[in-house]
């Protein structure tokens, strides 16, 4: 075991806990500082889960520290998407051309507890709960906290922020000159609803991610191990059919029943969910750089603290877990020179995080609007046909994002090349067809 200096990880969420596992394996002393109480002792916040869809990138990051099996035990595979038309007609599409690969539904709170247990079981890892960061001095690595027992301070030569989209650490860095940051909200909110088990069984097919595409709005549902589904309604904040317009339980339920009839029939708790679950917000956040070097300390950002994205590609946690892998790789490459490793990590990961942020925004339009159209279904069939015809040479964007670990920006470059090649092939085929037709015409 190498003896190394201490690392403070602010935030004991998914990325913070996995970071602690990676660092403990390298011999670091890690302290996790978490604003909330110990999640293993407290109930999760209501309506704030958005089930996660763990896919290959996340699984790969877990596998490298031996956590894939324990995590995947609690996950439910979803090999495809099930579209619910307004009249209740269902249509199913596999996510992969071979129909064998799945994204995996898992509850955020269960996953968090598993990762926290794993981190705290590693030598040198400890956690301080109910520690809300109120101050940070980048030069000394000194952190101020508010705790139930009054103010507390701590310091570490390396401070890693894994404290999520509303990161308190990043809030401090934002005041430093040269620190670029943006936050962009969608004009949409979300609300969680529930489809409970019916006679002890799933009320819908549990082997799918369910989508109710409704043009300017949509609902999705992911299965839970207790045979319920967690649904998330994505509606405009204002205008017709919005949370603002449908502001009483009666108006809400009437509109919902008219537009999501098949789901409505499965939701006995709708009024209660509507009344008690908050309306969430959808934000994309970008930072540049992802690390700041002080005189005697260095601060780095991981996960949502560096790059919060909207949930529509199911990649938020997967992308955050990839951060842990890349940081570990950079530490290995630099002989654990933490400032250099963080600089390298940030400059490498930035373009990939920017790419998945864009893809996630684009996918919202696809999910709520295009998946319902015939041309979309046709395109997916064509894509899967090409994938089977040219195995390993033509692969759809969705498969590369969800079922590979190819960095996101490389996925985009590959898709561009593929599209050019397919267009050239199609043009060639067209030219050949024209030539043949012309020859046949001349023979007549």
> Hey, which residues between 128 and 167 contact a copy of itself (CB under 8 A)?
166
Least distance in Å: CB of 177 to a copy of itself? Answer: 4
* Cα separation, 266 vs 285, whole angstroms: 36
CB nearer to a copy of itself: give 172 or 368: 172
Question: Of the ranges 38-46, 174-182, 220-228, 429-437, which one interacts with a copy of itself (CB under 8 A)?
Answer: 174-182
Tell me how crowded residue 358 is: count the other CB atoms within 10 A of its CB: 14
Q: Which residues pair with 31 in a beta bridge?
A: 8, 126
Q: How far is the CB of 183 from a copy of itself (least distance, A)?
A: 5
- Interactions with a copy of itself, residue window 95-114 (CB under 8 A): none
* DSSP character at residue 3: -
- Which H or E run contains 433? helix 408-443
Whether residue 183 contacts residue 162, with contact meaning beta carbons closer than 8 Å, is answered with no
Beta strands 29-33; 6-10: pairing state: parallel
Give the Cα separation of 436 and 444 in Å (integer): 13
CB of 305 to a copy of itself, least distance (A): 15
Interface residue with a copy of itself, options 2, 87, 148, 175 (CB under 8 A): 175
Residues 344, 352: Cα–Cα separation, whole Å: 14
User: Which helix (H) or strand (E) is 146 found in, with range?
Assistant: strand 142-147
Residue reference for tokens 């009483």: 248
Answer for which of 185, 423, 430, 431 binds a copy of itself (CB under 8 A) is 185
Q: Which stretch binds a copy of itself (CB under 8 A): 181-189, 260-268, 409-417, 431-439?
A: 181-189
User: Which region among 83-91, 178-186, 268-276, 362-370 touches a copy of itself (by CB under 8 A)?
Assistant: 178-186
Binding status of residue 335 toward a copy of itself by CB under 8 A = no
What is the greatest pairwise CA distance in the chain?
96
Per CB under 8 A, 181 contacts a copy of itself: yes
Residue from the set 40, 88, 121, 183 that interacts with a copy of itself by CB under 8 A: 183
Question: For residues 167 and 402, which CB has a smaller minimum distance to a copy of itself in the complex?
Answer: 167
Residue ranges in 423-442 that form contacts with a copy of itself under rule CB under 8 A: none
Binding region for a copy of itself (CB under 8 A) out of 62-70, 171-179, 269-277, 341-349: 171-179
Distance separating alpha carbons of residues 25 and 328, to the nearest angstrom: 10
| Contact indicator for 256, 270 with CB cutoff of 8 Å | yes
The only residue of 45, 98, 184, 337 in contact with a copy of itself, by rule CB under 8 A: 184
Q: Which of residues 264-303 bind a copy of itself (CB under 8 A)?
A: 281, 283
Near a copy of itself by CB under 8 A, which window of 63-71, 97-105, 183-191, 335-343?
Answer: 183-191
- Please report how close the Cβ of residue 259 comes to a copy of itself at its closest, in angstroms: 24
Query: For a copy of itself, which residue of 182, 248, 375, 440 counts as binding (CB under 8 A)?
Result: 182
# chain residues binding a copy of itself, by CB under 8 A: 15
User: Mind giving me the DSSP string for 18-73?
Assistant: HHHHHHHHTT-EEEEE-SSPPTTTSPPPTT----EEE-HHHHHHHHTTT-HHHHHT
Over the window 28 to 57, marking each residue x when it contacts a copy of itself by CB under 8 A and - when it does not, the resulting string is: ------------------------------
Shortest distance, CB of residue 436 to a copy of itself, whole angstroms? 41
Alpha-carbon distances, residue 427 vs 105, 317, 380, 423 (angstroms): 41, 40, 20, 6
Least Å distance, CB 241 to a copy of itself, is 18
Tokens of 281: 């917000």
Report strand pairing: 103-106 vs 52-54: antiparallel
Under the criterion CB under 8 A, does residue 179 sit at the interface with a copy of itself? yes
The single-letter DSSP state of residue 198 is: B
The answer to whether 214 and 240 have CB atoms below 8 angstroms apart is no
> Residue 155 has what DSSP assignment?
E
Selected binder of a copy of itself within 174, 362, 419, 437 (CB under 8 A): 174
Closer residue to a copy of itself, CB minimum distance, 179 or 255: 179
Query: What's the CA gap between 131 and 147, in Å, rounded?
Result: 5
The binding track of 226-245 with respect to a copy of itself, each residue x by CB under 8 A or -, is -----------x--------
Taking phi over 0 as left and psi of -120 to 50 as alpha, with beta for the rest, 88 belongs to left
At residue 145, what are phi and psi to the nearest 5 degrees? -130, 150
Residue closer to a copy of itself by CB (options 33, 190) is 190
Note the residues at the interface with a copy of itself (CB under 8 A).
166, 174-175, 177-185, 237, 281, 283
């Amino acid at each position: 075991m190498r003896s190394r200096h201490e690392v403070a990880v602010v935030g004991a969420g998914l990325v913070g806990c996995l970071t602690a596992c990676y660092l403990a394996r390298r011999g670091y002393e890690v302290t996790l500082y978490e604003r909330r109480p110990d999640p293993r002792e407290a109930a999760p916040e209501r309506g704030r889960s958005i089930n996660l869809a763990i896919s290959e990138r996340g699984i790969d990051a877990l596998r490298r520290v031996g956590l894939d099996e324990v995590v995947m035990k609690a996950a439910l595979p979803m090999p495809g998407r099930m579209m619910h038309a307004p009249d209740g007609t269902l249509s199913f599409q596999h996510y992969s051309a071979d129909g064998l690969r799945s994204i995996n539904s898992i509850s955020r709170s269960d996953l968090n507890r598993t990762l926290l247990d794993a981190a705290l079981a590693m030598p040198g890892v400890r956690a301080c709960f109910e520690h809300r960061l109120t101050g940070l001095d980048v030069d000394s690595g000194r952190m101020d906290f508010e705790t139930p027992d009054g103010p507390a301070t701590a310091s570490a030569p390396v401070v890693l922020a894994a404290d999520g989209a509303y990161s308190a650490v990043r809030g401090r860095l934002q005041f430093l000159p040269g620190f670029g940051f943006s936050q962009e909200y969608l004009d949409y909110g979300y609300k969680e609803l529930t489809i409970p088990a019916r006679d002890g069984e799933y009320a819908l097919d549990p082997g799918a991610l369910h989508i109710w595409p409704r043009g300017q709005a949509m609902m999705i549902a992911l299965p839970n191990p207790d045979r319920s589904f967690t649904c998330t309604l994505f509606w405009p904040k204002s205008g017709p059919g919005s949370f603002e317009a449908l502001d009483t339980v009666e108006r809400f339920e009437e509109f919902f029943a008219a537009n999501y009839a098949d789901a409505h029939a499965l939701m006995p708790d709708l009024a209660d969910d509507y009344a008690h679950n908050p309306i969430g917000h959808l934000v994309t956040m970008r930072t540049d750089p992802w690390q700041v070097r002080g005189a005697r300390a260095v601060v780095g950002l991981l996960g949502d603290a560096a790059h919060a994205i909207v949930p529509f590609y199911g990649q938020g946690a997967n992308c955050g877990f990839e951060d842990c892998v890349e940081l570990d790789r950079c530490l290995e490459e630099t002989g654990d020179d933490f400032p250099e490793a963080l600089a390298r990590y940030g400059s490498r990961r930035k373009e990939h995080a920017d790419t998945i942020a864009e893809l996630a925004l684009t996918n919202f339009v696809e999910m709520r609007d295009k998946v319902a159209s015939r041309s979309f279904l046709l395109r997916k069939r064509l894509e899967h046909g090409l994938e089977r015809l040219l195995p390993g040479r033509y692969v759809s964007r969705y498969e590369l994002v969800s079922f590979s670990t190819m960095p996101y920006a490389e996925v985009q470059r590959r898709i561009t090349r593929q599209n050019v090649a397919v267009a050239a092939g199609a043009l060639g085929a067209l030219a050949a067809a024209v030539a043949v037709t012309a020859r046949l015409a001349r023979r007549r």
